[in-house]
Amino acid sequence: MNHNTHPAHSTLSVEANPLALPPVASRRSVAPRTIPGLYEALEETAYDLAVVAGEAIVDALGRSLAVHYKDDAHGIMQPHDAVSNVDESVEDCLRRRLAVRHPEHAVVGEERGRSGPADAEFTWLIDPVDGTTNFVNGLPLYASAVAVLHGGRPVAGAIWCATSHALRPGVYHARSGGPARFDGVALRVDGGRDVEGRRRRVSTAPLPVRPREASWDHRHIGSAALESAFVAAGVLASARMQHQRAWDVAAGVVLTEAAGREVWTETAGRWEPFVTFGARPEEWRQSMLFGDSVAVTALRSGALAL
């Protein structure tokens, strides 16, 4: 094991050694003790996997991509639910690594479905490339998300983002009971900088939506994982998303709550605090709201467009 190579400078070969674990001693440890606790160890695994996913995605830039679609064309509308060969290869790589580290855990991925023991206590969720349409078109607003559920609730997660509040790629990560971090450094609750005189914040919301509210301007990024990470980092006041899958948002739930912000789901037209993805996370599909308390209160009172 090379103890002097930072993950950002290492060369990833997914196929050369598919069962090799990512470098552990070389990356910034997120555990304050020599022998980390359970959730700390899971956060470190999630961080390592996110680093590996990010390296594979970056390595694919400039190469030819093969793309197909999960949906069909409708009239003049072309299909939109894109899947690339990078989505598939990244998920396969992360599954192999989890099979080595945690063979007793189940895995649910966006591209390959569910695998592992049916009675597993822990279940990993993988979204290998969230924002594939942005990725295949060269728009650098996409992410790779990894999270682990304990009893249906996410307890650790990491999101590699193509860009960040630091204006570079990096990994946001957290665990239940711990702080939200970016590449091992705790995030500031206020978003990391002071902005004198700012009167408007930025939020994301699904289309169609009014572009401007009383105190927010809406944007639409196209990656739920990236948007939730930006809420945790304080870049976005809130992020509202329709019909999300568990693998899209599980890591963001951990990050957002660790950052002291709120996560809500919409059930039967009513917003309620998020509790769990249930026993079958692969079947979960709901609208989500990530935000600070001011934005959440405004939404619930009807100040933001629904």
Distance (Å, whole) CA 284 – CA 281 = 5
Query: Is 194 part of a structural domain of the chain?
Result: no
Question: Collapsing DSSP states into helix, strand and coil, what is residue 108?
Answer: strand
What would the two tokens of residue 294 be? 């001011």
The predicted structure's pLDDT at residue 245: 95
| Residue 110 half-sphere exposure toward CB, CA atoms < 13 A | 30
Please tell me whether residues 182 and 211 are part of one structural domain: no
Q: What angle, rounded to 10 degrees, do the helices at 246-258 and 224-232 form?
A: 0
DSSP structural state of residue 212: B
Residue 99, Cβ density class (10 Å: 0-12 exposed, 13-18 middle, ≥19 buried): middle
DSSP for 131-161 reads: THHHHHTT-S--EEEEEEEETTEEEEEEEEE
Query: Is 253 part of a structural domain of the chain?
Result: yes
Query: Is 160 part of a structural domain of the chain?
Result: yes
Please tell me whether residues 68 and 106 are part of one structural domain: yes
CATH number at residue 101: 3.30.540.10
Q: Which residues constitute the domain of residue 270? A: 201-300
Q: Hey, how many other C-beta atoms are within 10 angstroms of the C-beta on 80? A: 11
DSSP for 18-85 reads: TTPPPPSTTSPP--SSSS--HHHHHHHHHHHHHHHHHHHHHHHTTS---EEESS--BTTBPP--EEEH
Query: Is 117 part of a structural domain of the chain?
Result: yes
User: Which domain-ending residue is among 186, 220, 239?
Assistant: 186
Please tell me whether residues 209 and 292 are part of one structural domain: yes
Please tell me whether residues 51 and 113 are part of one structural domain: yes
* pLDDT one digit per residue (tens) for the chain, 306 residues: 444 433 333 333 344 444 344 444 444 445 443 335 899 999 999 999 999 999 999 998 878 777 777 645 545 544 455 677 888 889 999 999 999 999 999 999 988 889 999 899 999 999 999 998 899 889 999 999 999 999 999 999 999 999 999 999 999 999 999 999 999 999 986 655 667 666 677 888 776 566 556 566 778 899 999 999 999 999 999 999 989 999 999 999 999 999 999 999 988 888 899 999 999 999 999 999 999 988 888 776 664 444
Query: Is 306 part of a structural domain of the chain?
Result: no
Please tell me whether residues 205 and 182 are part of one structural domain: no
Q: Does the pTM of the predicted model rise above 0.85?
A: no
| Residue 122 half-sphere exposure toward CB, CA atoms < 13 A | 19
CATH number at residue 294: 3.40.190.80
DSSP structural state of residue 187: P
Entry field: residues in the chain: 306
Q: How many domains does the chain have?
A: 2
